[in-house]
Amino acid sequence: MGYIFILFAVWIYALFIRRKGYILAAIAFAWMAYLGGTASPFGTFDYIDYQVIYNRTAMGIDTRTEWLYTSLSKIAINRGLYYNQFRIILIVCIFILLYIAVVRLTKKPIYVAAFFMIVPFFQEVTQVRSFAAYTIVLLGISFLDTLSIKKIVFYYMINFLAMGFHTSAGIFLILPLVQYAIEKNGIDKSIRFSIWVSVLLASCMYLLSKGTFVVNLISRFVEMIAGSTVATTFSTLMSVSRGSKSYFLIIYVAYLVLALLISVKGKDALIYVKYLGLYAGFIITFALTPILLISTQFNRLQRYGFELAMIILVVMWSKARIADAKLRLVIVCLVTTVLACAFYGVFTNGDTFRTSIPYLMHWIGYTN
């Protein structure tokens, strides 16, 4: 019941009190850290997989996880920690970094907490490594308010740490370049360009998802470059959730609505210039939405793009008139509902993940 109580408290505060809500947001993030860190191993999706990886690391077996996650696991193992203890510490640290990043990027973290508790909390604490990676990227973005050499180098150092948890964070190495393009061309033109890129990419991805010969050919090249293990992983990934057109269309339309809101209201550079890194990250994830046509396993990027969009809109609400803020709030609530249904297993992840949500809320199996 704790999750429901805090969820209602956060939303009531956000909707009717309309203050910054630093303390309540901190409580919400702390509660989410507790829920995710102490989730039951018997009903939580991916928990056992992570536990097996941890135990294999303890036995000195190569687990193919990224270097920083592996190093932290080894430190915990050397300290005599079990996986459930390591998980609690890791997820608490992630939420601390997330809260710091959110507070640096917006003056109203209560809104971010409100949306995060609905989407994408449950999947993020399930896919822990990508959650850590993208949180670190978000922290890096909070330091990239200007494109000075010093800040770009610092951002890349942070991004390197993010890639130590999940390799996919490497896509955000191009973020300073995209941010530079936004500064030169404006947010509106940049988003329109990303739409054209996504349409072109969608055509390519659809053909790739249908072509077994093409997938096998690429697998051969991957094997030559990176070895048979990586090639097998690539082939397996390409074979999962092929032809997920319905899922892709729902996510894509939701992103178009968010992009429209951001594009229309994002022209005032005097107000929003400090947050161009958020726009850049959103544009990158939006342009890459068509990779869902290959596999819904890539939806972690789209979840992250949604988080960036939420922070952008929170920044806008803090600058907008009450009437405009309420209108955007209604629209984004509808989009949030659609994304919640999509991300939480209507079209992907299957029954196993859906049944794990009560365990993550601690309605069922609240002790380890």
Q: Predicted confidence band at 281 (pLDDT cuts at 50, 70, 90)?
A: very high
Residue-wise pLDDT for 324-354, tens only, equals 556 666 667 767 777 776 676 555 555 667 7
What does the pLDDT average to over 152-181? Answer: 95
Length in residues, the chain: 368
How many C-beta neighbours within 10 Å does residue 162 have?
A: 26
Q: How far apart are CA 218 and CA 63, in angstroms?
A: 24
How many C-beta neighbours within 10 Å does residue 264 have?
A: 11
What does the pLDDT average to over 289-316? Answer: 83
- Please give the pLDDT value at position 69: 97
**Any idea what DSSP says for residue 167?**
G
| pTM score of the predicted model | 0.87
Write the CA distances from 322 to 160, 325, 360, integer angstroms.
40, 5, 35
Buried b (16+ CB within 10 A) or exposed e, 173-191: eebbebbebbbeeebeebb
Compute the mean pLDDT over every residue in the chain, rounded to the nearest whole number.
83
Q: How far apart are CA 156 and CA 162, in angstroms?
A: 10
Residue-wise pLDDT for 204-262, tens only, equals 776 665 656 666 766 676 666 555 665 666 666 555 544 467 777 788 888 888 888 77
Q: Encode 209-229 in three state secondary structure.
A: HHCHHHHHHHHHHHHHHHCHH
- Please give the pLDDT value at position 282: 93
Q: What's the first-to-final CA gap in the chain, in angstroms?
A: 18
How far is C-alpha 73 from the chain's CA centre?
22
- Please give the pLDDT value at position 124: 92
Kindly state the percentage of the chain with pLDDT values over 70: 77
How many C-beta neighbours within 10 Å does residue 260 have?
A: 12
Contact between 283 and 204 (Cβ < 8 Å): no
Residue-wise pLDDT for 112-138, tens only, equals 998 899 888 998 999 999 999 999 999
Residue-wise pLDDT for 32-49, tens only, equals 999 999 988 887 888 999
Q: Which long-range contacts (CB under 8 A, 24 or more apart) does 188-197 make?
A: 188/263, 188/264, 188/266, 188/267, 190/279, 190/283, 191/259, 191/262, 191/263, 191/266, 191/283, 191/286, 192/263, 194/259, 194/283, 194/286, 194/287, 195/256, 195/259, 195/286, 197/287
What does the pLDDT average to over 280-303? Answer: 85
Of 25-39, 41-55, 132-146, 308-322, which gets the smallest average pLDDT? 308-322
Q: Predicted confidence band at 199 (pLDDT cuts at 50, 70, 90)?
A: confident
- Say whether pLDDT at 106 is over 80: yes
- Please give the pLDDT value at position 269: 44
- Say whether pLDDT at 165 is over 90: yes
